[in-house]
């Protein structure tokens, strides 16, 4: 029998680290601090809104760009909380933020184009750039501060560079750009005529008492930025897969043409529910306060058990330095053994790294879990370390 000819880009690609570690967590009955999702449901008000919409409104194809209520709701949300002057025409609803990233890349990257990607990075960016025929060009951040390497970004630009992908706040490090870094990134994009694909899904999940500021708001960036958001991250509803992208209407219209041949539409009852949720600042702030409490529980436990925590003020994640926490294992070995021997799943940072040599001494822990769960996980890791 003749073997089918498969696309080598996917035939040789490993399973994403998030799926792999969650699979090992299920196999070993481990506490899963690897893949980022809350253990509990999203806010009851959100589920109730979805149930009402399912009972009372349409369950058929919504408009490709999203239901008007959600597009208006996203624009109003960003106007209220980030000072961005947007309208419905700026917003395209997608089936999750990763689909928004895919549509943005397909709409802006042509074969032979280069795209600047900061390492470490969400592991979907590089494969999606390659799928569009482009080449990801990695520029490394350095622990523990993970400061923006502006000079290295300038040096990486060539006549073929077309876009920059910026994840702010940054998964996996939990760090946030400074005002000076955003100004420098904007100047770089304007000078090199780059599109900025800004994955800002963690914009609400901040614990530094500072409002999120988008690269889109910088001078010269309004017409060259594709800003991406996620209801899954704002409300802890990761399985709903409701995301969106925001861009100048002319740019948004082009990205929408890529989106229409990916998922086309997203369940309308979920869109209407998210629209209700985005209008409720108290609901959103209460959700973040709950995550702040579980994050504080994780950090207290880590410090109490002698783990070295890297700085970070955002996302559902905190990172630890293995070498300074009493481990001689590299991050991949640690993660593989910890899930089986300590009963705790984590994410090795090097799995989210391409290009320059990766640090091999850092792992990511997810804190959007019940406090008792994260405390038990840290106690297990400490007992395992002490027995090695």
Give the pTM. Answer: 0.95
Domain boundaries, the chain: 8-37+283-387, 44-279
d(CA 198, CA 263): 20
d(CA 141, CA 138): 10
Q: Which two tokens stand for residue 358?
A: 């990766």
Q: Can you give the pLDDT at residue 236?
A: 96
Q: Can you give the pLDDT at residue 184?
A: 98
Helix 268-278 to helix 68-82 angle, to the nearest 10 degrees?
30
Q: Can you give the pLDDT at residue 3?
A: 63
Residues whose CB falls within 8 Å of the CB of residue 249, separated by 6 or more in sequence, listed in order: 87, 89, 90
Q: How many CB atoms lie within 10 A of CB 20?
A: 19
Regions in the chain scoring below 70 on pLDDT: 1-3, 9, 11, 13
Q: Decide if domain 44-279 falls under CATH 3.30.470.20.
A: no
Residues whose CB falls within 8 Å of the CB of residue 104, separated by 6 or more in sequence, listed in order: 197, 226, 228, 245, 255, 258
pLDDT in tens, 253-306: 999 999 999 999 999 999 999 999 999 999 999 999 999 999 999 999 999 999
Q: Can you give the pLDDT at residue 341?
A: 97
Out of 3.90.105.20, 3.90.1150.10, 3.40.50.1000, 3.30.450.20, select the CATH number for domain 8-37+283-387: 3.90.1150.10
Q: How many CB atoms lie within 10 A of CB 304?
A: 12
Residue with tokens 């809350």: 38
Q: Can you give the pLDDT at residue 2?
A: 65
d(CA 302, CA 219): 41
């Amino acid at each position: 029998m003749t073997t089918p000819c498969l696309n080598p880009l996917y035939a040789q690609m490993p399973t994403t680290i998030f799926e792999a570690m969650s699979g090992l967590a299920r196999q070993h009955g481990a506490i899963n601090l690897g893949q980022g999702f809350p253990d509990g449901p999203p806010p009851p008000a959100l589920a109730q809104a979805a149930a009402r919409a399912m009972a009372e409104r349409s369950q058929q194809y919504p408009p490709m760009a999203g239901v008007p209520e959600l597009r208006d709701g996203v624009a109003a949300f960003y106007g209220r909380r980030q000072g961005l002057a947007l309208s419905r025409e700026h917003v395209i609803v997608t089936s999750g933020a990763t689909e928004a990233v895919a549509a943005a890349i397909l709409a802006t990257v042509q074969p032979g184009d280069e795209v600047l990607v900061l390492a470490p990075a969400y592991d979907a960016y590089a494969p999606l750039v390659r799928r569009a025929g482009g080449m990801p060009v990695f520029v490394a951040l350095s622990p523990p501060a993970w400061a923006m390497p502006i000079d290295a970004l300038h040096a990486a630009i060539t006549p073929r560079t077309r876009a920059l992908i910026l994840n702010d706040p940054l998964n996996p490090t939990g760090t946030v750009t400074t005002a000076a870094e955003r100004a420098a990134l904007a100047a770089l994009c304007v000078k090199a005529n780059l599109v900025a694909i800004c994955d800002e899904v963690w914009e609400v999940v901040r614990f530094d008492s500072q409002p999120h500021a988008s690269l889109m708001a910088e001078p010269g960036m309004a017409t060259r930025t594709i800003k991406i958001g996620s209801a899954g991250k704002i409300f802890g509803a990761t399985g709903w897969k409701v995301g969106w992208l925001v861009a100048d209407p002319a740019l948004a219209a082009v990205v929408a043409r890529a989106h229409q041949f990916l998922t086309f539409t997203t369940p309308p009852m979920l869109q209407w529910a998210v629209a209700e949720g985005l209008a409720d600042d108290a609901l959103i702030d209460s959700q973040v306060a709950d995550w702040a409490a579980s994050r504080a529980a994780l950090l207290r436990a880590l410090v109490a058990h002698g783990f070295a925590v890297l700085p970070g003020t955002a996302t559902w994640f905190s990172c630890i330095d293995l070498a300074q926490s009493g481990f001689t294992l590299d991050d991949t070995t640690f993660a593989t053994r910890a899930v089986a021997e300590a009963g705790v799943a984590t994410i090795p940072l090097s799995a989210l790294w391409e290009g320059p040599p990766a640090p091999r001494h850092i792992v990511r822990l997810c804190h959007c879990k019940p406090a008792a769960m994260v405390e038990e996980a840290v106690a297990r890791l400490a007992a395992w370390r002490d027995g090695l």
